[in-house]
Amino acid sequence: EAETVIVGAGCVGCSAAYHLAEQGREDIVVVDQGPLFETGGSTSHAPGLVFQTAENELMSRLAQYTVDLYGELDGFADCGGIEVAYTEERLEYLKRKREYGRSWGIEGGELLSPAEVAERIPQIDSSVIYGGYHVPSDGKAHAVDASAAMAHAAEDRGAAEFYGHTTVTDIETESGEFEAVVTDRGRIEAEEVLVATNIWGPLFGEMVDVDVPLVPCAHQYLVSEPLDELAGASEELEQPILRHQDYSLYFRQHGESYGIGSYDHEPLLVDPEDIRAPEEAEEMPSIREFTEEHFYEPTHPDIDKSAYDAARELVPAFEDCGFERAFNGIFSFTPDGMPILGETEGIDGLWWALAVWVTQSGGVGSVVASWMDEGVPRLGNEKIDVSGAHLERFQPHSGSRAFSYARGGQQYQEVYQLIHPNEQPVEQRGLRRSPFYERQKELGAEFYESGGWEVPQWYEANESLLEKYDVPERSGWLAEGWSPIQGAEHQAVRENVGIYDLSRYTGIEIEGEGALEFVQRLFANDLDSSIGQVRYTPMLDHDGGVLADMAVTRLGENRFVATTGGGASATEHTRWIREHAPEEGVDIDAHVSDQCGLGVWGPKAREVLQPLTDEDLSNDSFGYFRAKEFYLDSIPVLALRVSYVGELGWELYAPTEYGGRLWDLIWEQGEDHGMVALGNGAFLGSLRLEKGYRLWGTDLTPEHDPYEAGIGFAVDTDTEFIGREALLEAKESDLDREIVPLTLDAGEVIDGGKPILDGEDVVGHVKAADYGYSIDAGIAYGYLPPEFAETGVSLEIEFEGERYPATVAEEPLFDPDREKIIR
Ligand code: FAD
């Protein structure tokens, strides 16, 4: 018996044990099928390069934490890291990367000339590169040493025991709760289990019938014979670690030898059941024989040069040397490249921490431990938004092997490639189509994928609008995956009317005799309103952090519908609601597939819809933030008079099978009123931003309370709700940070993730940015300390190596008196 069992003593399992022990948890048992601490998993042979800068804030912050922690435990060499640019495009990207680094708090990142790179890494041929990005605090983790140090620290506290050569063969659950792990040396009952078994994760999924969308991939690593160029170098790492991403390669020094890691080959996927147990494996179970063709020949249509050719072009010393060691090591890839963390829906006490690199392992241990212990994920003492790594972000199709292998393989292939955030996946498209899909296709929709849904980003049919509306040009990075048509759609909605597909949005219906009491506890606004009232409300975690913002409609005494987005927001929010529901008296039904939706917004919205219904749509009888169920022609709809774009209009929800007819009816009516199909680009990008509406996961995260997030107006502390106590405290104290809009003084457009500067100091970063086509200014939203969050404060935003003056403005930037909405 134990309080907590951890399966897997790689860097992730050890880090979780260390952090749980630090938090005062006792009675932790860690088991591993292999010997401790070189267990035979990926940690045992990882070269341990830690590059901290990522486009993604979460991954970067986890990496920074890992560097600090492993440094304290003598498990890290801070030799610095350099990423080189083989193309001009990459050099531009490295400038951008440095800006991400500054935004996420990485200090000292600098761009180097080719000669400066060669000063630090003399064996490279600097004539083939354009420069590099250097981070002095990057370096190499000694993953096994760090794992052992964390384990011993937990043991020394008397909090944890570690057992090697102990194989878990089953997980027992009972009535939705974890009971015990069964091992080849006996059964261990416990309150909770954390599965940290990396490439073996899917096998654990099978034990409990949970999909684990992860594919093990074999990855090449070689260590050269000693090089003359490194003669006399000590085993201690001296040179910075090196990445050559244009050929998906990386390098590190092993004393006088030089190591090469390569992703420059077709993905080599491995079925989890084929990964041998330690006693059957010749070497380590996570190691496969080196496949020469994948190193010495180009093996994928996207590859024009073999990895070896690319390596010796950059490091000519490889020309005449042999390799002392070469192997294919296995580690995990997920469909979106992010880890898999969290507790299983429907099985209390069963936790996962999978697909984590050494780079993030220290931080992930902290996050998982605090999440298990207090229900709130934290990195050290700071709250952190882990929604992008939450097990629950996956969609119904994600667990299939067809999907996870195709997308996981693509992630492997692209791990170092220069991928623009607007670039769309190729594999596994067209999975989820709304009933309007064919109509959208006819209108030339440019489809982007979101949670498997095909979502029109803009419509080519609207190109002719460019003759009427001015749209400022964009170039380079900002122009990729963007069309000026987005700007035209924006203006057409403000002038006439647009139709927008809401089908992936999810109405979470909460019904039953306990429904009112439950929604009052769940949401921070007072929902005890009249029937037919819609209320905007945050949903908070126990710390008062914003988990979601939703429109909640009261449809009956004890019947409510909470509307949230599609994809991850739908699955993660529904899960939280289910988890917190009382056992009796409340039914929860998430309408994902059985309901489609259309938004009709713009000054002409009423003229379009009124002829289709007997219901009086006038402002007097159907006011703003009211809801009604009626017939539109013969179609039963739920209509909400709300708008995320800041215009008069309605969201109309109907059973899916009526969708085709619903679109046609509205479209025919719209023709006389200049109706346009509105894509997601203008909807989520510019229209909502100009109006100052928040976007979950972008400018609204659990890291902030509603006051910081500028939605304190939607909190009513007279009711009792989850997170209230924390909010009462927050209300009394001064805000640490506050979200505000900045407008760019010269009207330009910039991008998210960029540092906001006061002189040389980074005071915040851009959470969301776009162009406000109706106010004619570039807009950037960011969280700033109060002294900078005052209207009129002048700051600068760094973007592509330039500084852009920007001024803090008052929100909303567009239609502050709501004259366009309430009419
Ligand atoms: P593992 O270390 O694999 O630990 C999982 C453990 O679970 C194993 O010890 C295994 O024995 C145990 N286990 C499995 N099944 C059972 C069972 N049934 N019962 C009991 N125990 C079980 N990352 C970086 O950040 N930087 C790098 O430079 C880097 N380079 C890499 C190079 C190579 C060649 C490879 C293969 C990986 C590399 N990685 C790198 C990735 C990194 O090594 C892994 O992502 C990381 O080590 C995973 O740690 P873990 O603790 O989750 O998994």
CATH at 582? 3.30.70.1400
The structure tokens listed for 502 are: 């809401």
Task: Please indicate, yes or no, if residue 799 is contained in any of the structural domains.
Answer: yes
User: Considering only CA atoms, which of 15, 4, 353, 372 is closest in space to residue 188?
Assistant: 4
pLDDT above 80 for 151: yes
Residue 45 is classified by DSSP as G
The whole-number average pLDDT for the span 506-514 is: 98
68 and 151 inside one domain: yes
Residue 792 sits in a domain of what CATH number? 2.40.30.110
Is 285 a pocket residue for ligand 1 (Cβ < 6 Å)?
A: no
Phi, psi of 696 (to 5 degrees): -55, 135
Q: Among 365, 296, 420, 417, which Cα is nearest to 15's? A: 365
The residue range of the domain holding 720 is 505-591+707-733
Class of residue 209 by CB neighbours under 10 A (exposed 0-12, middle 13-18, buried 19+): exposed
End-to-end Cα spacing for the chain: 66
Q: Are residues 757 and 726 part of one domain?
A: no
Both tokens of 743, joined, read 């407008």
Q: Cα separation of 438 and 632, whole Å?
A: 22
How many CB atoms neighbour CB 596 within 10 A?
A: 25
Are 767 and 782 contacting, i.e. CB atoms less than 8 angstroms apart?
A: yes
Identify the pLDDT of residue 234.
82
> How many A from CA of 378 to the centre of ligand 1?
23
Clarify whether residues 729 and 740 are in a common domain: no
- 137 and 122 co-located in one domain: yes
User: How many angstroms separate the alpha carbon of residue 311 from the centre of ligand 1?
Assistant: 26
Closest ligand 1 atom to the C-alpha of 329?
Answer: 36
Nearest alpha-carbon partner for 746 in 800, 803, 703, 784? 803
- The dihedrals phi and psi of 672, each to the nearest 5 degrees, come to -80, -5
- For 272-278, what is the mean pLDDT? 83
Q: Which CATH number characterizes residue 102's domain?
A: 3.30.9.10
pLDDT at 279 over 80: no
The two three-digit tokens of residue 641, written as one number? 């008079």
Same domain, 484 and 537: no
Q: Which two tokens stand for residue 264?
A: 């420059």
Q: Strand pairing partners for 162? A: 30
Number of domains in the chain: 4
- Cα torsion 32, 37, 41, 43: sign: positive
Task: Say if residue 167 is in the same domain as residue 313.
Answer: yes
CA of 107 to the centre of ligand 1 (A): 29
Chain mean pLDDT for the chain: 96
The Å distance, Cα 227 to ligand 1 centre, comes to 29
**What pLDDT score was predicted for residue 738?**
96
* Nearest alpha carbon, ligand 1 atom 37: 46
Residue found by looking up tokens 């955030």 in the block = 421
Q: What is the pLDDT of residue 281?
A: 66
Q: How far is CA 504 from CA 60, 282, 535, 596, 656, in A?
A: 30, 49, 21, 7, 11
Distance (angstroms) between ligand 1 centre and the Cα of 10 equals 6
Ligand 1 atom 12: the closest Cα is on which residue?
8
**Residue nearest atom 6 in ligand 1 by C-alpha distance:** 8
pLDDT of residue 462: 98
Q: Which atom of ligand 1 is nearest to the CA of 360?
A: 25
621 found inside a domain: no
Residue 302: which pLDDT band, with cuts at 50, 70 and 90? confident
How would residue 733 be classed by pLDDT, with cut points 50, 70 and 90?
confident
> Is the residue at 261 inside a domain?
yes
Same domain, 14 and 135: yes
pLDDT at 457 over 90: yes
User: Angle 527-531-536 (CA atoms, 0-180°, nearest 5)?
Assistant: 40
Burial of 217 (0-12, 13-18, 19+ CB in 10 A): buried
Closest by Cα among 72, 49, 722, 14 to 368: 14
Expressed in angstroms and rounded, the spacing between residue 264 Cα and the centre of ligand 1 is 21
What is the atom index within ligand 1 of the atom nearest the CA of 10? Answer: 51
- Tell whether the model's pLDDT for residue 782 goes beyond 90: yes
Q: Residue 197 CA: which ligand 1 atom is closest?
A: 7
Q: Is ligand 1 within 6 A of the CB of residue 267?
A: no
The atom number, within ligand 1, closest to the CA of 220 reads: 34
Q: Which atom of ligand 1 is nearest to 250's Cα?
A: 28
207-241 pLDDT per residue, tens: 999 999 999 999 999 999 999 999 998 877 689 99
Q: How far is CA 384 from CA 61, 200, 363, 545, 734, in A?
A: 9, 27, 11, 10, 20
Residue 565 belongs to a domain: yes
Residue 200, ligand 1, Cβ within 6 A = yes
- Of the two residues 630 and 414, the one the predictor is more confident about is 630
- Ligand 1 close to Cβ of residue 7 (< 6 A): yes
Q: Given 312, 333, 354, which residue is the final one in a domain?
A: 333
Within 610-755, residue ranges assigned H as helices are 659-670, 680, 688-691, 724-732
Is residue 138 within 6 Å of ligand 1 at its C-beta?
no
Binding site membership of 357 for ligand 1 (Cβ less than 6 Å): yes
Mean pLDDT of 101-111: 96
Q: By C-alpha distance, which of 687, 690, 706, 707 is closest to 814? A: 690
331 lines ligand 1 (CB under 6 A): yes
Is the pLDDT at 664 greater than 90? The verdict is yes
Residue 549 catalytic? yes
Question: In this predicted structure, what is the pLDDT of residue 301?
Answer: 82
Which tokens is 727 given? 């909010």
How many whole angstroms from 516 Cα to the centroid of ligand 1? 47
User: Does the beta carbon of 42 lie inside 6 Å of ligand 1?
Assistant: yes
CA 773/CA 766 separation, integer angstroms: 19
| H or E element, residue 84 | strand 81-85
Among 18, 53, 358, say which to mutate for ligand 1: greatest number of ligand atoms within 8 Å of CB: 358
Is the pLDDT assigned to residue 86 strictly greater than 90? Answer: yes
Report if residue 367 sits inside a domain. Answer: no
**Tell me, what DSSP letter sits at residue 423?**
P
Query: Does the CB atom of residue 317 touch ligand 1 within 6 A?
Result: no
739 and 823 fall within a common domain: yes
Pocket flag, ligand 1, residue 10 (CB < 6 Å): yes
Query: For 652-668, what is the mean pLDDT?
Result: 98
DSSP string, 102-134: HHTT--S-EEE-HHHHHHHSTTS-GGG--EEEE
Q: Map residue 621 onto helix, strand or coil.
A: coil
Of the residues 19, 45, 134, 219, which is catalytic? 219
SS (HEC) of 700-735: ECCCCCCCCCCCHHHCCCCCCCCCHHHHHHHHHCCC
Q: Which of 297, 317, 333 is the last residue of a domain?
A: 333
Of 142, 150, 197, the residue with max ligand 1 atoms within 8 A of its CB, to mutate for a pocket test, comes to 197
Last residue of a domain, one of 304, 333, 362: 333
Q: Are 448 and 457 in contact (CB under 8 A)?
A: yes
Specify if 654 maps to a domain: no
Contacts of 720 (CB under 8 A, 6+ apart): 520, 521
Q: Give kind and range of the element (H or E) at residue 570.
A: helix 568-580
Q: What is the pLDDT of residue 299?
A: 82
* Ligand 1 atom 45 nearest Cα: 357
- Asked if 706 contacts 779 with a C-beta cutoff of 8 angstroms, the reply is no
Residues 444 and 512 in one domain: no
What is the tens place of the pLDDT at every residue in 409-446? 999 988 888 889 899 999 999 999 999 999 999 999 99
**In this structure, are residues 253 and 120 in contact, taking their beta carbons and an 8 Å threshold?**
no
What is the number of alpha carbons within 13 Å of residue 357 lying toward its C-beta?
21
Same-domain check for residues 300 and 444:
no
In angstroms, rounded to a whole number, what is the distance separating the alpha carbons of residues 496 and 686?
17
Question: For position 235, what pLDDT does the model report?
Answer: 73
pLDDT of amino acid 236: 72
Count of C-beta atoms within a 10 Å radius of residue 485: 27
Task: Given the residues 93, 133, 221, 250, select the one marked as catalytic.
Answer: 250
Q: Is the CB of 201 under 6 A from ligand 1?
A: no
What spacing in Å lies between the alpha carbon of 220 and ligand 1's midpoint? 15
Could you say which of 246, 549, 705, 751 is catalytic? 549
- How deeply is 754 buried, as exposed, middle or buried, from its count of CB atoms within 10 A (0-12, 13-18, 19+)? buried
In a domain, residue 698? The reply is: no
User: Distance from the CA of 45 to the center of ligand 1, in angstroms?
Assistant: 8
Give domain status of residue 702, yes or no.
no
Q: Nearest 5°: CA angle at 169, between 168 and 175?
A: 100
**Same domain, yes or no: 246 and 169:** yes
Centroid of ligand 1 to alpha carbon of 610 (angstroms)? 61
pLDDT average, residue stretch 585-594: 95
390 is catalytic: no
Do 759 and 805 belong together in one domain?
yes
Does the beta carbon of 359 sit less than 6 angstroms from any atom of ligand 1? yes
Q: How big is the chain, counted in residues? A: 823
